[in-house]
Structure 1
Protein backbone atom coordinates (compact mmCIF):
# COMPACT_ATOMS: atom_id res chain seq x y z
CA UNK A 1 0.00 0.00 0.00
CA UNK A 2 1.42 3.41 -0.94
CA UNK A 3 1.36 6.47 1.28
CA UNK A 4 -1.59 7.65 -0.85
CA UNK A 5 -3.73 4.74 0.33
CA UNK A 6 -3.77 2.51 -2.79
CA UNK A 7 -1.45 -0.15 -4.15
CA UNK A 8 0.60 -0.15 -7.35
CA UNK A 9 -1.81 -2.60 -9.03
CA UNK A 10 -4.69 -0.12 -8.56
CA UNK A 11 -2.53 2.73 -9.83
CA UNK A 12 -1.55 0.74 -12.94
CA UNK A 13 -5.15 -0.41 -13.58
CA UNK A 14 -6.60 3.10 -13.37
CA UNK A 15 -3.87 4.73 -15.46
CA UNK A 16 -4.24 1.92 -17.99
CA UNK A 17 -7.51 3.55 -19.01
CA UNK A 18 -5.52 6.33 -20.65
CA UNK A 19 -4.13 5.26 -24.04
CA UNK A 20 -0.56 6.14 -24.94
CA UNK A 21 1.35 6.12 -28.16
CA UNK A 22 4.25 3.72 -28.60
CA UNK A 23 7.70 5.01 -29.52
CA UNK A 24 11.15 3.56 -29.92
CA UNK A 25 13.99 5.71 -28.60
CA UNK A 26 17.14 5.00 -30.62
CA UNK A 27 20.80 5.97 -30.49
CA UNK A 28 24.12 4.61 -31.70
CA UNK A 29 26.94 3.72 -29.32
CA UNK A 30 30.54 4.56 -30.05
CA UNK A 31 31.61 1.83 -32.46
CA UNK A 32 28.30 1.80 -34.33
CA UNK A 33 26.07 -0.55 -32.32
CA UNK A 34 22.45 0.65 -32.42
CA UNK A 35 20.49 0.99 -29.17
CA UNK A 36 16.73 0.95 -28.83
CA UNK A 37 14.11 1.05 -26.10
CA UNK A 38 10.32 1.05 -26.32
CA UNK A 39 8.46 3.77 -24.39
CA UNK A 40 4.80 4.57 -23.97
CA UNK A 41 5.49 7.76 -22.09
CA UNK A 42 6.35 10.45 -24.62
CA UNK A 43 5.10 14.01 -24.80
CA UNK A 44 5.79 17.45 -26.21
CA UNK A 45 7.05 19.92 -23.62
CA UNK A 46 7.70 23.29 -25.25
CA UNK A 47 7.42 25.05 -28.62
CA UNK A 48 10.07 27.68 -27.85
CA UNK A 49 12.55 26.15 -27.52
CA UNK A 50 11.25 22.93 -29.12
CA UNK A 51 11.44 20.29 -26.36
CA UNK A 52 10.02 16.78 -25.95
CA UNK A 53 10.21 14.32 -23.06
CA UNK A 54 9.98 10.64 -22.28
CA UNK A 55 10.20 8.75 -19.01
CA UNK A 56 12.68 5.85 -18.86
CA UNK A 57 12.54 3.51 -15.87
CA UNK A 58 15.48 3.66 -13.51
CA UNK A 59 15.70 -0.12 -13.95
CA UNK A 60 16.36 0.23 -17.71
CA UNK A 61 19.71 -1.13 -18.86
CA UNK A 62 19.46 0.78 -22.17
CA UNK A 63 18.66 4.26 -20.84
CA UNK A 64 22.04 4.88 -19.11
CA UNK A 65 23.81 4.08 -22.38
CA UNK A 66 21.60 6.51 -24.34
CA UNK A 67 21.93 9.16 -21.63
CA UNK A 68 25.73 8.92 -21.81
CA UNK A 69 25.62 9.60 -25.57
CA UNK A 70 23.54 12.76 -25.12
CA UNK A 71 21.50 12.30 -28.30
CA UNK A 72 18.62 10.14 -29.45
CA UNK A 73 15.81 9.81 -31.95
CA UNK A 74 12.15 9.26 -31.06
CA UNK A 75 10.48 6.94 -33.59
CA UNK A 76 6.66 7.00 -33.43
CA UNK A 77 5.46 3.54 -34.41
CA UNK A 78 2.61 2.84 -36.81
CA UNK A 79 -0.19 0.40 -35.96
CA UNK A 80 1.33 -2.21 -38.32
CA UNK A 81 4.68 -2.17 -36.48
CA UNK A 82 3.76 -4.31 -33.46
CA UNK A 83 6.29 -7.02 -34.35
CA UNK A 84 9.03 -4.36 -34.60
CA UNK A 85 7.93 -3.05 -31.18
CA UNK A 86 8.14 -6.51 -29.63
CA UNK A 87 11.55 -7.17 -31.17
CA UNK A 88 13.04 -3.92 -29.84
CA UNK A 89 11.44 -4.53 -26.42
CA UNK A 90 12.93 -8.02 -26.13
CA UNK A 91 16.19 -8.49 -24.25
CA UNK A 92 19.32 -9.48 -26.10
CA UNK A 93 21.78 -8.26 -28.69
CA UNK A 94 19.63 -8.88 -31.80
CA UNK A 95 17.15 -6.05 -31.30
CA UNK A 96 17.95 -4.53 -34.69
CA UNK A 97 18.25 -7.77 -36.68
CA UNK A 98 16.45 -7.26 -40.01
CA UNK A 99 15.11 -3.84 -38.95
CA UNK A 100 15.79 -1.33 -41.71
CA UNK A 101 16.87 2.13 -40.64
CA UNK A 102 18.89 5.12 -41.68
CA UNK A 103 20.96 7.59 -39.69
CA UNK A 104 19.58 10.93 -38.54
CA UNK A 105 21.77 14.03 -38.74
CA UNK A 106 23.03 13.29 -35.21
CA UNK A 107 23.65 9.64 -36.12
CA UNK A 108 20.70 8.04 -34.34
CA UNK A 109 18.66 5.37 -36.15
CA UNK A 110 15.47 6.48 -37.88
CA UNK A 111 13.45 3.29 -38.27
CA UNK A 112 11.94 2.74 -41.72
CA UNK A 113 8.19 3.26 -42.13
CA UNK A 114 7.54 4.94 -38.77
CA UNK A 115 4.74 7.48 -38.55
CA UNK A 116 7.19 10.22 -37.61
CA UNK A 117 10.61 10.77 -36.06
CA UNK A 118 12.10 13.44 -33.81
CA UNK A 119 15.88 13.80 -33.65
CA UNK A 120 17.09 15.25 -30.33
CA UNK A 121 19.99 16.17 -28.15
CA UNK A 122 19.59 15.54 -24.44
CA UNK A 123 18.69 18.81 -22.72
CA UNK A 124 18.05 17.70 -19.12
CA UNK A 125 17.33 14.67 -16.96
CA UNK A 126 15.33 14.79 -13.72
CA UNK A 127 14.59 12.06 -11.20
CA UNK A 128 10.91 11.23 -10.68
CA UNK A 129 10.18 8.30 -8.38
CA UNK A 130 11.20 5.05 -10.07
CA UNK A 131 11.70 6.82 -13.43
CA UNK A 132 13.69 9.65 -14.97
CA UNK A 133 12.27 12.53 -16.98
CA UNK A 134 14.46 12.83 -20.07
CA UNK A 135 14.01 16.11 -21.93
CA UNK A 136 15.24 16.37 -25.49
CA UNK A 137 15.91 19.48 -27.52
CA UNK A 138 14.53 18.89 -31.00
CA UNK A 139 17.10 19.26 -33.79
CA UNK A 140 15.01 17.86 -36.66
CA UNK A 141 11.68 16.09 -37.17
CA UNK A 142 9.51 14.75 -39.94
CA UNK A 143 6.39 12.74 -40.70
CA UNK A 144 7.48 9.68 -42.71
CA UNK A 145 4.01 8.32 -43.45
CA UNK A 146 0.62 9.54 -42.37
CA UNK A 147 -0.57 6.26 -40.83
CA UNK A 148 -2.41 5.47 -37.64
CA UNK A 149 -0.07 5.15 -34.66
CA UNK A 150 0.41 2.08 -32.51
CA UNK A 151 -1.33 2.58 -29.15
CA UNK A 152 -1.07 0.90 -25.76
CA UNK A 153 -4.33 0.67 -23.78
CA UNK A 154 -5.33 -1.46 -20.79
CA UNK A 155 -2.33 -3.73 -21.16
CA UNK A 156 -2.77 -4.38 -24.89
CA UNK A 157 -1.73 -2.88 -28.20
CA UNK A 158 -4.19 -1.44 -30.69
CA UNK A 159 -4.81 1.38 -33.09
CA UNK A 160 -6.81 4.56 -33.31
CA UNK A 161 -10.16 4.59 -35.09
CA UNK A 162 -11.51 7.87 -36.41
CA UNK A 163 -15.08 8.66 -35.38
CA UNK A 164 -15.89 11.30 -38.00
Structure 2
Protein backbone atom coordinates (compact mmCIF):
# COMPACT_ATOMS: atom_id res chain seq x y z
CA UNK A 1 0.00 0.00 0.00
CA UNK A 2 1.31 3.42 -0.95
CA UNK A 3 0.85 6.22 1.49
CA UNK A 4 1.47 9.82 0.63
CA UNK A 5 2.98 12.21 3.08
CA UNK A 6 0.76 15.15 3.86
CA UNK A 7 2.73 18.32 4.61
CA UNK A 8 2.23 19.73 8.09
CA UNK A 9 2.24 23.29 6.82
CA UNK A 10 1.89 25.24 3.59
CA UNK A 11 4.91 25.92 1.45
CA UNK A 12 6.09 29.50 1.10
CA UNK A 13 4.18 31.44 -1.57
CA UNK A 14 5.81 31.79 -4.98
CA UNK A 15 4.11 35.15 -5.68
CA UNK A 16 4.30 38.72 -4.40
CA UNK A 17 1.69 40.47 -2.24
CA UNK A 18 0.93 42.64 -5.29
CA UNK A 19 0.18 39.54 -7.41
CA UNK A 20 -1.97 38.12 -4.62
CA UNK A 21 -3.99 41.35 -4.35
CA UNK A 22 -4.38 41.51 -8.14
CA UNK A 23 -5.63 37.94 -8.23
CA UNK A 24 -8.08 38.56 -5.37
CA UNK A 25 -9.39 41.63 -7.23
CA UNK A 26 -10.73 39.29 -9.93
CA UNK A 27 -13.40 38.12 -7.48
CA UNK A 28 -16.38 40.51 -7.61
CA UNK A 29 -17.97 41.18 -4.23
CA UNK A 30 -20.77 43.12 -2.69
CA UNK A 31 -19.93 46.10 -0.50
CA UNK A 32 -20.95 46.37 3.14
CA UNK A 33 -20.55 48.81 5.97
CA UNK A 34 -20.15 47.18 9.38
CA UNK A 35 -21.65 49.38 12.11
CA UNK A 36 -21.71 49.24 15.89
CA UNK A 37 -21.52 51.36 19.01
CA UNK A 38 -18.51 51.31 21.32
CA UNK A 39 -18.93 50.70 25.05
CA UNK A 40 -19.06 54.50 25.50
CA UNK A 41 -21.79 54.83 22.84
CA UNK A 42 -19.53 56.18 20.06
CA UNK A 43 -20.59 55.29 16.51
CA UNK A 44 -18.28 52.84 14.74
CA UNK A 45 -18.38 52.07 11.02
CA UNK A 46 -16.15 50.70 8.29
CA UNK A 47 -16.44 49.51 4.71
CA UNK A 48 -15.83 45.79 4.19
CA UNK A 49 -16.19 43.50 1.20
CA UNK A 50 -15.12 40.35 3.06
CA UNK A 51 -18.73 39.51 3.98
CA UNK A 52 -20.02 35.96 3.43
CA UNK A 53 -22.82 33.68 4.58
CA UNK A 54 -21.83 30.70 6.74
CA UNK A 55 -24.95 28.82 7.84
CA UNK A 56 -28.73 28.94 7.53
CA UNK A 57 -29.35 27.10 10.80
CA UNK A 58 -28.29 28.79 12.94
CA UNK A 59 -28.16 31.90 10.73
CA UNK A 60 -24.47 32.85 10.63
CA UNK A 61 -22.44 35.35 8.58
CA UNK A 62 -18.76 36.29 8.61
CA UNK A 63 -16.51 39.19 7.71
CA UNK A 64 -12.90 40.09 8.49
CA UNK A 65 -11.03 43.10 9.85
CA UNK A 66 -7.33 44.02 9.79
CA UNK A 67 -5.53 43.60 13.10
CA UNK A 68 -4.38 47.23 12.82
CA UNK A 69 -7.87 48.74 12.32
CA UNK A 70 -8.73 51.52 14.74
CA UNK A 71 -12.18 50.02 15.31
CA UNK A 72 -10.81 46.60 16.34
CA UNK A 73 -11.21 47.21 20.07
CA UNK A 74 -14.84 48.35 19.84
CA UNK A 75 -15.85 45.57 17.44
CA UNK A 76 -14.06 42.73 19.21
CA UNK A 77 -15.39 43.68 22.66
CA UNK A 78 -18.93 44.66 21.67
CA UNK A 79 -21.83 42.24 21.86
CA UNK A 80 -23.59 43.33 18.64
CA UNK A 81 -22.95 44.87 15.24
CA UNK A 82 -24.81 45.30 11.98
CA UNK A 83 -23.81 44.38 8.45
CA UNK A 84 -25.34 46.84 5.98
CA UNK A 85 -25.23 45.67 2.35
CA UNK A 86 -24.98 48.82 0.27
CA UNK A 87 -27.30 49.66 -2.58
CA UNK A 88 -25.96 50.78 -5.98
CA UNK A 89 -26.59 54.45 -5.15
CA UNK A 90 -24.46 54.34 -1.96
CA UNK A 91 -20.97 54.50 -3.51
CA UNK A 92 -20.23 57.74 -1.64
CA UNK A 93 -20.96 56.00 1.69
CA UNK A 94 -18.64 53.11 0.77
CA UNK A 95 -15.82 55.56 0.02
CA UNK A 96 -16.54 57.64 3.12
CA UNK A 97 -16.41 54.66 5.50
CA UNK A 98 -13.31 53.26 3.77
CA UNK A 99 -11.43 56.51 4.46
CA UNK A 100 -9.72 57.65 7.62
CA UNK A 101 -11.77 60.83 7.84
CA UNK A 102 -12.84 61.83 11.34
CA UNK A 103 -16.38 62.96 10.48
CA UNK A 104 -17.52 59.88 8.58
CA UNK A 105 -20.89 59.83 10.41
CA UNK A 106 -21.66 63.51 9.70
CA UNK A 107 -25.00 63.71 7.88
CA UNK A 108 -25.41 59.92 7.60
CA UNK A 109 -29.01 58.81 8.09
CA UNK A 110 -29.57 55.67 10.16
CA UNK A 111 -31.93 54.07 12.64
CA UNK A 112 -31.06 52.19 15.80
CA UNK A 113 -31.11 48.42 15.60
CA UNK A 114 -32.65 46.45 18.47
CA UNK A 115 -29.26 46.22 20.23
CA UNK A 116 -27.94 49.67 19.29
CA UNK A 117 -26.06 48.98 16.06
CA UNK A 118 -26.80 51.63 13.42
CA UNK A 119 -28.86 50.48 10.40
CA UNK A 120 -28.03 52.65 7.39
CA UNK A 121 -30.95 54.26 5.60
CA UNK A 122 -31.25 53.08 1.99
CA UNK A 123 -29.16 49.92 2.42
CA UNK A 124 -30.13 47.01 0.16
CA UNK A 125 -30.15 44.71 3.21
CA UNK A 126 -29.19 44.77 6.88
CA UNK A 127 -28.22 42.02 9.30
CA UNK A 128 -28.26 42.64 13.05
CA UNK A 129 -25.74 40.25 14.56
CA UNK A 130 -24.69 38.93 17.94
CA UNK A 131 -20.87 38.92 18.02
CA UNK A 132 -20.67 35.12 18.32
CA UNK A 133 -16.98 34.36 17.74
CA UNK A 134 -13.68 35.67 16.42
CA UNK A 135 -10.72 33.89 14.87
CA UNK A 136 -7.26 35.39 14.47
CA UNK A 137 -5.81 34.38 11.09
CA UNK A 138 -2.80 36.05 9.50
CA UNK A 139 -3.09 39.82 9.62
CA UNK A 140 -6.89 39.80 10.12
CA UNK A 141 -9.56 38.71 12.59
CA UNK A 142 -12.53 36.79 11.21
CA UNK A 143 -15.79 37.77 12.91
CA UNK A 144 -18.70 35.31 12.92
CA UNK A 145 -22.05 36.88 13.68
CA UNK A 146 -25.27 35.12 14.62
CA UNK A 147 -28.04 36.98 12.81
CA UNK A 148 -30.86 38.01 15.14
CA UNK A 149 -32.76 40.19 12.65
CA UNK A 150 -32.49 40.88 8.95
CA UNK A 151 -34.32 42.92 6.35
CA UNK A 152 -33.97 43.81 2.69
CA UNK A 153 -35.30 46.44 0.33
CA UNK A 154 -37.31 44.78 -2.43
CA UNK A 155 -36.02 45.78 -5.87
CA UNK A 156 -32.78 47.36 -4.59
CA UNK A 157 -29.71 46.81 -6.75
CA UNK A 158 -26.52 46.10 -4.79
CA UNK A 159 -23.25 48.02 -5.02
CA UNK A 160 -20.49 45.74 -6.37
CA UNK A 161 -16.68 45.95 -6.25
CA UNK A 162 -14.30 44.34 -8.74
CA UNK A 163 -10.75 45.12 -9.81
CA UNK A 164 -10.54 48.21 -7.65
CA UNK A 165 -13.72 49.78 -9.09
CA UNK A 166 -17.39 50.03 -8.15
CA UNK A 167 -20.13 48.56 -10.35
CA UNK A 168 -23.85 47.99 -10.36
CA UNK A 169 -25.54 44.74 -11.30
CA UNK A 170 -26.53 43.92 -14.85
CA UNK A 171 -28.55 40.78 -15.54
CA UNK A 172 -27.11 38.51 -18.21
How high is the TM-score relative to the length of structure 1?
0.94
Q: Which runs of 5+ in 1 are unaligned?
A: none
From 75, 84, 97, the equivalent of 2:84 is: 75
Aligned equivalent of 2:115: 106
Report matched runs for 1:42-57 at 5 Å. Answer: 42-57=51-66
Aligned equivalent of 2:36: 27
CA distance in 2, matches of 1:149, 1:105: 24
Secondary structure, counterpart of 1:25 in structure 2: strand
The answer as to whether partners of 1:117 and 1:144 remain within 8 angstroms in 2 is no
Q: Which runs of 5+ in 2 are unaligned?
A: 1-10
Length, aligned pairs only? 162
Q: CA deviation at 1:93?
A: 2.7
Q: CA deviation at 1:129?
A: 0.9
The answer as to whether partners of 1:113 and 1:145 remain within 8 angstroms in 2 is no
Aligned equivalent of 1:158: 167
How high is the TM-score relative to the length of structure 2?
0.90
The farther-off stretch of 145-154 and 121-130 is: 145-154
Cα deviation, 1:76-108, whole Å, max 9, x if unaligned, reads 001110111111222133111000000010110
Structure with larger Rg: 2
Cα deviation, 1:84-136, whole Å, max 9, x if unaligned, reads 11112221331110000000101100000000000001111001111111000
From 127, 132, 148, the equivalent of 2:141 is: 132
Secondary structure, counterpart of 2:116 in structure 1: coil
The answer as to whether partners of 2:64 and 2:143 remain within 8 angstroms in 1 is yes
Aligned equivalent of 2:152: 143
CA distance in 2, matches of 1:78, 1:105: 22
The answer as to whether partners of 1:44 and 1:53 remain within 8 angstroms in 2 is yes
CA distance in 1, matches of 2:147, 2:98: 24
CA distance in 2, matches of 1:3, 1:31: 43
CA distance in 1, matches of 2:101, 2:86: 21
Q: Does 1:6 align with 2:15?
A: yes
User: After the TM superposition, which segments of 4 or more aligned residues of structure 1 sit over 6 Å from their partners?
Assistant: none
Aligned equivalent of 2:101: 92
